[in-house]
Every structure is written in structure tokens, then in C-alpha cells.
């Protein structure tokens, strides 16, 4: 009987990881020559929007955000609102029972720390310091913090969502059990700061359009020759 040791895939070396990321970036640039940047929101708005986007799609999270902003025109009104009413207002975003109290708590914590519902001081911080500040809020992980730093503040963070995590595992850029936090560090270590916004957006588009979670469209994918997932099923 063959040894189970032979079935264990060795972790890729740093050189292999770099080559795979570079090939992926080249292919993304071929597929998506340009990127349309999102309108920048104030940092606190981006933080709340990103919290609402956790474990849901963009349509639902934006709907919940717009409804919240419409009912409560300022963040101080949200912070002072009954948490049950906040939950009902953001119901469309999913997991409202978790997100409502979380948003209210973060707003109150920001005001206690800053004396205002404002975190624009992050603009003067380095990427690492800004991430560290955001991560101290309960319910804010690396992806959420990175989205705020990238989309609102223009800092070269690299948020890792489910699409990026899935694709990176299939291509052997990371291991099957590696976390989104480790994945973010790998991409940060192998990309130029100025490339990260577009690269992040491109991979998400690719994950939604071609490299689906179920039934990916491998026949039209230019990365399939180097894809471990495809190779194992061919």
C-alpha cells in the first residue's frame, strides 16, 4: 500500500509563490486592462459599510447602508438610537442581530476616544498603524480594516475575501488550510503597493465571473494549466 506521505503536498517555496502571483497578476491585467475605482467614503462610513458587508453580498450590504443613512442622517443619531431599531433598519444586510449592536458599540467607542464620530486621523497614520487602530474594535478583522485603509484612505492594503481565498488555494499560492490573514500577508509581500487596489478588484471580478465556488468555468480560464484544483480533477 502506498504511503500516505506521498499524498501530502509540500508547501510552495517563496520563489514559487512569487512566480504564481506574478502569473496571476499578468493574467488579470490581460482580462481587465483598467479598473473603475469606487467613490471614496469618509473612513467611518467605509468602516460601517464594510461591517454591513460581512457575510453578505454587495447588493444587500449597500441597501442596508443606504437605509441606515436615510433613517439616521448622522452617526451620532445611530449611536443614540435604540439597538432594536438599528437592527430592523439594517435587516436587509443579513446578520442584523450581530451587526446592529456592533455598529452602535463602535460608534460610541469612537466618540469616547476621539470626541467626534470621525476617524479621519487614520489618513496621517502608516498602513500598519492604521490597521492596528482599526483592529482594536470588537468585530473588526483584518479584511474589514484593510478595506477601510484601501478604499477610503488610499493606503496600499490588500483585503482578502472569500473569492481571493478560494482562488489562491486553487492556484497553490497558499495552502488548503491557510487563513485569510496569512493570505493577505503573502500578497502584501509579493506585490507593489501601487498595484494592490486593481489586483484586489480584478481577482474578485474573476472569482465572481469565472472561478466560481461551484462549477468554475475552467474551460475558459487561462490559469488552468497552473491550477492545482483543475489538475486534481482532470
pLDDT for the residue 234? 78
End position of a domain, from candidates 111, 132, 152: 152
pLDDT for the residue 2? 40
Q: Does a structural domain hold residue 3? A: no
pLDDT for the residue 233? 86
Give the CATH number for residue 172. Answer: 1.10.1670.10
Q: Say which of 143, 182, 198, 215 is annotated catalytic.
A: 143
Q: Are 81 and 38 in contact (CB under 8 A)?
A: no
pLDDT for the residue 10? 60
End position of a domain, from candidates 118, 152, 186: 152
Question: Do both 87 and 139 map to the same domain?
Answer: yes
Question: Do both 121 and 167 map to the same domain?
Answer: no
pLDDT for the residue 3? 41
Question: Do both 99 and 129 map to the same domain?
Answer: yes
**Low-confidence stretches of the chain (pLDDT beneath 70):** 1-11
Name, in order, each residue with C-beta under 8 angstroms of 136's C-beta and a sequence gap of 6 or more: none
Cα Rg of the chain, angstroms:
20
Query: Any idea of the CA torsion for 117, 120, 124, 130, to the nearest 10 degrees?
Result: 70
User: Is 77 an annotated catalytic residue?
Assistant: no
Question: Do both 127 and 64 map to the same domain?
Answer: yes
pLDDT for the residue 12? 76
> Structurally, how many domains does the chain consist of?
2
Structural domain range at position 209 = 10-36+158-233
End position of a domain, from candidates 105, 121, 152: 152
pLDDT for the residue 212? 95
Give the CATH number for residue 86. Answer: 1.10.340.30
Q: Are 228 and 171 in contact (CB under 8 A)?
A: yes
What pTM does this model have? 0.91
Amino acid at each position: 500500500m502506498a504511503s500516505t506521505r506521498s499524498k501530502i503536498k509540500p508547501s510552495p517555496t517563496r520563489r514559487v509563490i512569487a512566480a504564481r502571483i506574478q502569473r496571476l497578476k499578468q493574467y488579470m491585467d490581460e482580462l481587465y486592462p483598467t479598473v473603475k475605482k469606487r467613490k471614496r467614503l469618509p473612513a467611518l462610513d467605509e468602516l460601517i459599510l464594510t461591517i454591513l458587508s460581512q457575510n453578505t453580498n454587495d447588493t444587500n450590504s449597500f441597501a442596508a447602508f443606504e437605509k441606515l443613512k436615510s433613517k439616521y442622517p448622522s452617526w451620532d443619531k445611530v449611536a443614540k438610537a435604540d439597538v432594536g431599531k438599528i437592527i430592523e433598519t439594517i435587516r436587509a444586510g443579513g446578520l442584523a442581530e450581530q451587526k446592529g449592536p456592533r455598529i452602535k458599540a463602535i460608534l460610541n467607542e469612537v466618540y469616547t476616544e476621539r470626541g467626534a464620530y470621525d476617524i479621519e486621523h487614520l489618513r496621517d497614520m502608516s498602513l500598519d498603524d492604521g490597521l492596528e487602530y482599526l483592529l482594536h474594535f470588537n468585530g473588526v478583522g483584518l479584511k474589514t480594516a484593510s478595506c477601510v485603509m484601501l478604499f477610503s484612505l488610499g493606503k496600499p492594503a490588500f483585503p482578502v475575501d472569500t473569492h481571493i481565498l478560494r482562488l489562491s488555494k486553487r492556484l497553490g499560492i497558499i495552502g488548503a488550510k491557510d487563513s485569510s490573514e496569512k493570505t493577505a500577508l503573502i500578497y502584501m509581500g509579493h506585490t507593489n503597493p501601487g498595484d494592490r487596489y486593481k489586483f484586489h478588484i480584478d481577482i474578485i471580478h474573476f472569482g465572481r465571473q469565472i472561478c466560481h465556488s461551484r462549477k468554475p468555468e475552467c474551460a475558459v480560464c487561462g490559469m488552468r494549466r497552473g491550477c492545482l484544483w483543475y489538475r486534481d480533477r482532470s
